[in-house]
Chains A and B, each alone.
Chain A
């Protein structure tokens, strides 16, 4: 591979994309001299360098790129914003439609074209004149505004009474993100492997946004916190379908208005033989927020190394939850009955109908438990039990209404298995069961009992349980009714890596359809006395790897929870570095798992300490993952 000549711009928001190419550290990551030769230049210089074959790849503003014609975009890397960008704005003493003239910072052609498009859309035609940044600001007067860009825009954020954020206005107009710049390459100049170098650089850079913000703060005097939120929340570094549509739209609006030549962005792949993607490439794509295939997932599960999976999952977690906050919920697991007709081989909790140890909790006992939840600041109960043929749907309806009326607690209740059981018992549809329970107060459906959503596995470990299609269908119906639910996976019985990935794919597919899953939790089969399945090798190592792969595969599920109740608080804490952004619940009791020998119990304070020690802020949440407290 020959040395790749890369040219970037020295703007703050561009640093995360190229910074890793610089310095000694770059060399040892294989990003340094001899592999990538990075040069920094003013934006106006970039197009020339690419045109005259002085550079292979440039971080080109999109207006300049349109004018260049036959460049190809590198995948999924850009500098853009979906809504407010903060660093590109027209500021003025009056509303924009009252302005006679606007001074334009001409250093950014893209922003100038965008300004013209946005003004034309509002049918405004103030006089536009070019000015250097300090002059532009100086020329702001009663009826004169200024387009300001970069540090001055951030610095003067609250200075002027009127401010039109261009990316925000673009979003109001088109509903699309605005892309300011992206990596553009001369055709044929960058191989697929070389393209991976840019992904690596981006990931390294995004992991360093805190330091970049701090360094820039020291240089510019801007507040570090403001810069950090600018880099992590205002600017988006991805170039997905939406961003691409935004870019396409900008180029076509620009062409329509005669401001840009007609052009179409393209990723035009250099034609390569279809080869197995390398593990690195899969991990990079995943960390970059791209969707993985089932075969990618199997490779990761089988071959992905401990740290690489962890780091990639951590990168996805950071991308989805850039504020570094980990949530937990104060709730209580109430197992209202242990009588069950299913007799799953892995369950040590159930008792058959008529067994002397069978129970149904009385209102009195329930009431006491619920009051304790209230007293402890709890917000919901997780209500699950066996499939008890003596309990009819009216029993549940009465119970739910009573819980709501007397205690006002959230009801995260009845896993799909129990819903199906009720549907069969009452001879009514699953939909009808859910409608009636919903009307009685059901808030959300716990994702328990999913085990592995592959029928070969289900037949072996839980013959009497619902099929995977039935399980998914309950969730589908619930989601369409506006109920949310969680999703789970219990691996480590007879399941293969392929089957674990199939399980994740089924959840991902349904999520594409409904968007109703709030979070995903997984755990290994908890083997102890009383169950009838021998455990295979398992262990914390596999747990962390499995959770990381789940985080990488489930690109459309917002939250991944660490299952500390099954893995123990220590492993749960480490799991926060393997893709989890939720620490589950402060539980009072969890009979099913504890009858299989796992009896971890910790309080809110201990949970928060673990979250903090792992480097995150902690906050309480409700079942919809809304924050209930200020993260601390």
Chain B
């Protein structure tokens, strides 16, 4: 089976649902990884993208009750519930005056008590502080919620937010598209069609977006393949997705805490299969917050060409018990990529190159000796 898949991939032939399933079941993990790596290197060579971004989560108050979520607090008065004032949110960016991020990434709970103008002001304020900063804000789920809650069409919501400064949409909230699974883990927010429709509209307006998949909970491999193929189908139509981002389920403190988290082998395989199935999506992202930096580093050989950015204030995975630090410094990201033998490319949100770093001089090991000697002189 793997042989025929390999042949298809090398001939540029599109893989089928069954191929995807077979890849998930293939016992030889490295063979799957190697094939995904081939595709990745054909597209991007050693180039590996990251950016200087900043996460802001302005509210964790949320009307939805997703089983996998350790972040949201259902109502505003509950302990731990918190909604930032606009000034508080803006301050995050103001504090970074000396080291400004190129992107602000906002993801929130579905707060029933805020006026729509809050979000418009939020965006305007960020742009006032830094007119160049790219605002990648509000998942498809949030946009859908805004449309329902504030009684507008999706297009109207997007147009008003764009007028206030919105540049693109993040990929969160996709979870698993399969209707049965989705009903069981997050029944009270945008369904698959509604989620995809938000992206369809955004793409038709010329906005780009990302898309995610939350795996490793109650879904099957077939559900994952189905999910990835729905992404592929919409991408055929709109070409608006920039990156696909598999997100590993983390069980701490949420409604599925009895489930074990997916293990590294599953993480790597999922990335590799995504790379192989999504022949029309340019980038596969190994989101280091979800994977830990160690596994993200290995993932750069399993199909991923992007490891997200410096992040700084991530609180969603933190609440679910990830072992990852909340932020990685710019130099740490560069080093992480170089240690994997890849070329670090700082990008902006739309994948324009901001700065290209040299790849570690090959052979990797001999360079190290030189560096170490220098380092030792400093300490001894």
Interface, chain A (partner B; CB < 8 A): 23-25, 28, 207, 210, 301-303, 306-307, 310-311, 314, 460, 493-494, 496-497, 532-542, 544, 567-571, 573-574, 577, 606, 609-610, 613-615
Would you give 25 A-B contacts (Cβ < 8 Å), ordered by A?
A24-B3, A25-B6, A28-B10, A302-B366, A306-B301, A306-B341, A307-B30, A311-B30, A496-B369, A533-B379, A535-B375, A536-B372, A537-B367, A539-B297, A539-B336, A539-B339, A540-B294, A541-B339, A544-B298, A568-B292, A577-B29, A577-B30, A610-B263, A610-B264, A610-B265
Q: Are B260 and A606 in contact (CB under 8 A)?
A: yes
Q: Are A570 and B295 in contact (CB under 8 A)?
A: yes
**Cβ-defined partner of B264 (8 Å) among A207, A210, A570:** A570
Q: Are A307 and B33 in contact (CB under 8 A)?
A: yes
Interface pick from B108-116, B202-210, B357-365: B357-365
Q: Are A570 and B263 in contact (CB under 8 A)?
A: yes
CB nearest neighbor in B for A605: B260
Q: How far is the CA of A572 from the CA of B365 in the complex (A)?
A: 22
B279 lies within 8 A of chain A by Cβ: no
Q: Are B29 and A614 in contact (CB under 8 A)?
A: yes
Q: How far is the CA of A310 from the CA of B263 in the complex (A)?
A: 19
**Chain A to chain B: the 3 pairs with minimum beta-carbon distance, closest first:** A539-B339, A534-B375, A25-B3
**Cβ-defined partner of B376 (8 Å) among A306, A494, A497, A574:** A494
Q: Are B372 and A534 in contact (CB under 8 A)?
A: yes
Given that A28-B10, A613-B266 are known contacts, is A494 also in contact with B373, CB under 8 Å in the complex?
yes
CB nearest neighbor in A for B1: A211
Q: How far is the CA of A497 from the CA of B365 in the complex (A)?
A: 7
Q: Are B340 and A541 in contact (CB under 8 A)?
A: yes
**Cβ-defined partner of A542 (8 Å) among B260, B292, B364, B366:** B364
- Least CB distance from A563 to B in Å reads 13
A574: chain B residues at CB < 8 Å are 264-265, 268, 295, 298
Given that A311-B34, A497-B365, A614-B29 are known contacts, is A609 also in contact with B298, CB under 8 Å in the complex?
no
Q: How far is the CA of A392 from the CA of B218 in the complex (A)?
A: 58
B28: chain A residues at CB < 8 Å are 207
B257 lies within 8 A of chain A by Cβ: no
Number of B residues, CB within 8 Å of A: 49
B191 lies within 8 A of chain A by Cβ: no
**Cβ-defined partner of B294 (8 Å) among A210, A460, A568, A615:** A568
Q: Are A537 and B263 in contact (CB under 8 A)?
A: no
B12 lies within 8 A of chain A by Cβ: no
B27 lies within 8 A of chain A by Cβ: yes
Q: Are B263 and A573 in contact (CB under 8 A)?
A: yes
| A-contact 0/1 string along B336-363, CB 8 Å cutoff | 1011110000000000000000001001
**Cβ-defined partner of A614 (8 Å) among B10, B265, B366:** B265
B128 lies within 8 A of chain A by Cβ: no
- Of listed B4, B34, B367, B368, residue having the most chain A CB within 10 A: B368
A568: chain B residues at CB < 8 Å are 292, 294, 323
B260: chain A residues at CB < 8 Å are 606, 609
Q: Are B265 and A573 in contact (CB under 8 A)?
A: yes
B7 lies within 8 A of chain A by Cβ: yes
Given that A497-B366, A542-B364 are known contacts, is A615 also in contact with B27, CB under 8 Å in the complex?
yes
Q: Are B37 and A537 in contact (CB under 8 A)?
A: no
- Of listed B4, B6, B264, B335, residue having the most chain A CB within 10 A: B264
Q: How far is the CA of A587 from the CA of B88 in the complex (A)?
A: 44
- Least CB distance from A410 to B in Å reads 29
- Least CB distance from A526 to B in Å reads 13
Q: Are B373 and A571 in contact (CB under 8 A)?
A: no
Q: Are A537 and B338 in contact (CB under 8 A)?
A: yes
A533: chain B residues at CB < 8 Å are 376, 379
**Cβ-defined partner of B292 (8 Å) among A532, A544, A570, A573:** A570
Q: Are B363 and A534 in contact (CB under 8 A)?
A: no
Q: Are B294 and A570 in contact (CB under 8 A)?
A: yes
Q: Are B27 and A537 in contact (CB under 8 A)?
A: no
B99 lies within 8 A of chain A by Cβ: no
- Least CB distance from A602 to B in Å reads 11
Q: Are B372 and A493 in contact (CB under 8 A)?
A: yes
- Least CB distance from B325 to A in Å reads 12
Q: How far is the CA of A610 from the CA of B263 in the complex (A)?
A: 6
A615: chain B residues at CB < 8 Å are 27, 29, 265
Q: How far is the CA of A615 from the CA of B30 in the complex (A)?
A: 12
Q: Are A541 and B7 in contact (CB under 8 A)?
A: no
Interface, chain B (partner A; CB < 8 A): 3-4, 6-7, 10, 27-31, 33-34, 37, 260, 263-268, 292, 294-295, 297-298, 301, 323, 335-336, 338-341, 360, 363-369, 371-373, 375-376, 378-380
A314: chain B residues at CB < 8 Å are 30
Q: Are A541 and B301 in contact (CB under 8 A)?
A: yes
Given that A302-B366, A307-B33, A496-B366 are known contacts, is A613 also in contact with B294, CB under 8 Å in the complex?
no
- Least CB distance from A83 to B in Å reads 28
Q: Are B34 and A307 in contact (CB under 8 A)?
A: yes
Q: How far is the CA of A589 from the CA of B280 in the complex (A)?
A: 48
Q: Are A573 and B264 in contact (CB under 8 A)?
A: yes
A614: chain B residues at CB < 8 Å are 29, 263, 265
Given that A307-B30, A539-B339, A541-B340 are known contacts, is A301 also in contact with B365, CB under 8 Å in the complex?
yes
- Least CB distance from A434 to B in Å reads 36
B301: chain A residues at CB < 8 Å are 306-307, 541
- Least CB distance from A153 to B in Å reads 29
- Least CB distance from B78 to A in Å reads 32
B266: chain A residues at CB < 8 Å are 613
Q: How far is the CA of A28 from the CA of B373 in the complex (A)?
A: 45
Q: How far is the CA of A159 from the CA of B67 in the complex (A)?
A: 58
Q: How far is the CA of A539 from the CA of B6 in the complex (A)?
A: 30
CB nearest neighbor in A for B266: A613
CB nearest neighbor in A for B374: A534
Q: Are B264 and A536 in contact (CB under 8 A)?
A: no
**Cβ-defined partner of B265 (8 Å) among A493, A496, A542, A613:** A613
- Least CB distance from B307 to A in Å reads 13
A24: chain B residues at CB < 8 Å are 3-4, 7
CB nearest neighbor in B for A531: B379
Q: How far is the CA of A606 from the CA of B261 in the complex (A)?
A: 10
Q: Are A540 and B297 in contact (CB under 8 A)?
A: yes
Q: How far is the CA of A303 from the CA of B336 in the complex (A)?
A: 19
Q: How far is the CA of A302 from the CA of B363 in the complex (A)?
A: 6
- Least CB distance from B271 to A in Å reads 12
Q: Are B339 and A571 in contact (CB under 8 A)?
A: no
CB nearest neighbor in B for A613: B263
Known: A540-B297, A568-B294, A606-B260. 13 other contacts (CB 8 A): A28-B7, A207-B28, A302-B366, A307-B30, A493-B372, A494-B372, A497-B363, A534-B372, A539-B339, A571-B294, A571-B295, A574-B265, A574-B268
B6: chain A residues at CB < 8 Å are 25, 28
A539: chain B residues at CB < 8 Å are 294, 297, 336, 339-340
B31: chain A residues at CB < 8 Å are 311
**Cβ-defined partner of B37 (8 Å) among A28, A210, A307, A609:** A307
B30: chain A residues at CB < 8 Å are 307, 310-311, 314, 577
B371: chain A residues at CB < 8 Å are 536-537
Q: Are B341 and A496 in contact (CB under 8 A)?
A: no
**Cβ-defined partner of A540 (8 Å) among B298, B366, B367, B369:** B298
- Of listed A496, A568, A570, residue having the most chain B CB within 10 A: A570
Q: Are B7 and A537 in contact (CB under 8 A)?
A: no
- Least CB distance from B108 to A in Å reads 30
CB nearest neighbor in A for B260: A609
B294: chain A residues at CB < 8 Å are 539-540, 567-568, 570-571
A301: chain B residues at CB < 8 Å are 365
Q: How far is the CA of A539 from the CA of B340 in the complex (A)?
A: 8
- Least CB distance from B359 to A in Å reads 12
Q: How far is the CA of A606 from the CA of B16 in the complex (A)?
A: 34
- Least CB distance from B247 to A in Å reads 15
Q: How far is the CA of A207 from the CA of B29 in the complex (A)?
A: 13
Q: How far is the CA of A571 from the CA of B380 in the complex (A)?
A: 32
Q: Are A303 and B363 in contact (CB under 8 A)?
A: yes
Q: Are B375 and A536 in contact (CB under 8 A)?
A: yes
- Of listed A207, A541, A613, residue having the most chain B CB within 10 A: A541
